[in-house]
Amino acid sequence: MSAFDLDAAADQRFSVNLSILFTELPLLERPAAAAAAGFSAVELWWPWPGSPTPGPTGLDALKKAIEDAGVQLTGLNFYAGQLPGPDRGALSVPGEESDRFRANIDVAADFAASLGCGALNALYGNRVEEADPAEQDALALENLVLAARAADRIGAVLLVEALNKPESPLYPLVSAPDAVAVADKVNATTGLGNAKFLMDLYHLSMNGEDLPRVIEQFTSRTGHVQIADSPGRGAPGTGSLPLAQLLGQLRKAGYDGWVGLEYKPGGGPSSGAFEWLPRELR
């Protein structure tokens, strides 16, 4: 048993990210594998990194796999290019990538709606040499506004995420204030108020942020939380982050949403990556 505080875990609702866990299995087998491991909720990056508009056959097959497994889809990324890989998002990249993001907006929103998913994550996109940063930021706001309206149409929140600079040096949102400021701009433009912060404790820790301070400042603005230990992006207990303490602080600050498990499984199969969490708490 790891040093993770199980009293803190008992107060959480955990979802498994099927784009980083259970990837040793074909996509359509992952929801059932998560259910077999004892989880009732899953989340996904956009499952078709090469196609923002897959045909109905692929969408219907994934929907059926999730429904047949009896798990809830709690979060879905909009199209963001090659993840994992060199891309970090698409919506602020002029040209083809931005066009692909726009083409994906309603496809992703409708798929999320078909499964009752209430959170859509829009990754910003790397800086590119051929575009002025101000031009990219203006394009990003346009596309985030479109995404926020699509999310609102299905009763969902739009998530804006900060990544970490060591692993994503060209990604411009590398702090909690960065991401919250973008969400503020979206809300000011749409008047909808549904743009929220995705608080990924791993990325924020890699940026050297004061995590208790981030929680104190931004929990009320947070629409979703993701965790991995640091260093290494492994399961809780494999690094040095006080994740149980931080999750307890989040609960005390009023966060009662899902906590996404977005960590690497380690050297073995993903089914063995949850020993830190007793089955009755999953």
Cβ density class 216-245: b for 16+ within 10 Å, e for less:
eebbebbbbbbbbbbeebbbbbbbebbbbe
- Active-site residue, from 24, 161, 275, 280: 161
Given the residues 24, 262, 275, 280, select the one marked as catalytic.
Answer: 262
The pair of three-digit structure tokens given for residue 268, joined into one six-digit string: 């073995």
161 is catalytic: yes
Structure tokens at 72: 């809830």
Which backbone phi and psi does 15 adopt, to 5 degrees? -120, 150
Residues acting as catalytic residues: 161, 262
